Structure 1
Amino acid sequence: MQNHRTLTRWAAALLVFLSAPNYATDLVPTRLLGLEAAQDIAAAAVAACRKDGYQVAVVVTDRSGDPVVMMRDVFVSKYMVQIAQNKANAVVMSNSPSGELRTNMARIRDELNELDGVLLMEGGLPIRFNGGLIGAVGVSGAPGGDKDEACAQAGIEAIQERLDFAD
């Protein structure tokens, strides 16, 4: 009788174990852009534009589009900050540079070209770690999106080695 109870308990335990849902897929490991890295990106982007004689606003976001750092030079208006944020939002939405999204606009449904908070202009770039999007940087204020984008690229390049060699 004792063997039967032991066997029944083991069978019940095995049944519970085998029928338990696999919760391992409920947790997804991810990398987040840290505050220090975001500050360094913004500072390097502002410095690159200053070197070329431009005052700009820079917004660095996390992978969800939430601002981590906002930096603007002395004579830059709040509207440039909003434009920089909207360029970064375009990057987060498309997982590609904001200028590329504009180039591909012909393939996008018309109503998607007018999303609040998204600006389809050059000047927004993705920040990547191991190929995955961990954030975005948007720059606004230089005379032309290509110049904004060059400053955004300088910001990313300032921490690229840290991204390349992070564990």
Structure 2
Amino acid sequence: MVFKRLADLGGWIALGLFAGMAPVQAADVVTTKNIGLELANQIAMASVEACRKDGYQVSAVVVDRNGNLRSAMRDDLAARFTLQIAQEKANMVVMSGLKSGEFRKLRADIRPELNHIDGLIVMEGGVPITAAGARIGAIGVSGAPGGDKDEVCAMKALESVQDRLDFAE
């Protein structure tokens, strides 16, 4: 009798396990957070202004979480190609989820190959944009004498809007 009850119990447990193993299906509608145009423009401009204060003429590009261009600003005397480099730095952040300089340090082994992919460059100066724990985009800055200086300008811009990012819905 005890064995029969255990067998019945085992059957119920097995049934419960199989029920929990139902195939996972993709949702028909997916809701995500993404950066809005006004915030993207403000972050790009704040980056340019931060670099200006340090005497650098740069370009700043903000992309959304999928790498789509949201804002691009080139300071008056910044070189033309700084726009492209800034966008490619931001795209590197979208691809890796890390600051572009951090990714460069961690994955020096594949940097040459990634630099041959259209739209990516593995250089310092790209930073993720996170709102309320969700990555909503990235910023890339280019034109200062060194990617470390580009990154400082991007970080200053993000600090200027940190309250908005922390409490975004």
| 1:71 corresponding residue in structure 2 | 73
Q: 1:109 to 1:149 in 2, by over 3 A?
A: closer
Distance in 2, Cα, partners of 1:118 & 1:63? 15
| 1:128 corresponding residue in structure 2 | 130
> Which deviates the most, 51-60 or 100-109?
100-109
SS in 1 for 2:140: strand
| 1:58 corresponding residue in structure 2 | 60
SS in 2 for 1:26: coil
Residue 92, structure 1, aligned to residue 87, structure 2: no
TM-score for the superposition, normalised by structure 1: 0.81
| 2:121 corresponding residue in structure 1 | 119
RMSD: 1.9
| 2:153 corresponding residue in structure 1 | 151
Q: Deviations over 1:117-148 (max 9, x none)?
A: 11111100000123221100000000011100
Amino acid at match of 1:91: V
Moved over 4 A (4+): none
Instruction: Report the alpha carbon displacement of residue 152 of structure 1 after superposing the two structures with TM.
Output: 0.6
| 2:105 corresponding residue in structure 1 | 103
Q: Which has the higher helix share?
A: 1
Distance in 2, Cα, partners of 1:24 & 1:93? 22
| 1:18 corresponding residue in structure 2 | none
TM-score for the superposition, normalised by structure 2: 0.80
Alignment map for 1:34-49 (pairs within 5 Å): 34-49=36-51
Instruction: Report the alpha carbon displacement of residue 84 of structure 1 after superposing the two structures with TM.
Output: 0.3
Instruction: Report the alpha carbon displacement of residue 26 of structure 1 after superposing the two structures with TM.
Output: 2.1
Q: What is the number of residues matched between the two proteins? A: 146
Alignment gaps of 5+ in structure 2: 1-23
8 Å CA contact 1:40–1:158 kept in 2: the answer is: no
8 Å CA contact 1:59–1:71 kept in 2: the answer is: yes
Identity of paired residues, percent?
57
| 1:165 corresponding residue in structure 2 | 167
Distance in 2, Cα, partners of 1:25 & 1:110? 37
Q: Deviations over 1:54-112 (max 9, x none)?
A: 11000001111111000011011220100000100100010110001111124548634
Alignment gaps of 5+ in structure 1: 1-21
8 Å CA contact 1:98–1:124 kept in 2: the answer is: yes
SS in 2 for 1:38: helix
Distance in 2, Cα, partners of 1:129 & 1:149? 19
Q: 1:106 to 1:47 in 2, by over 3 A?
A: closer
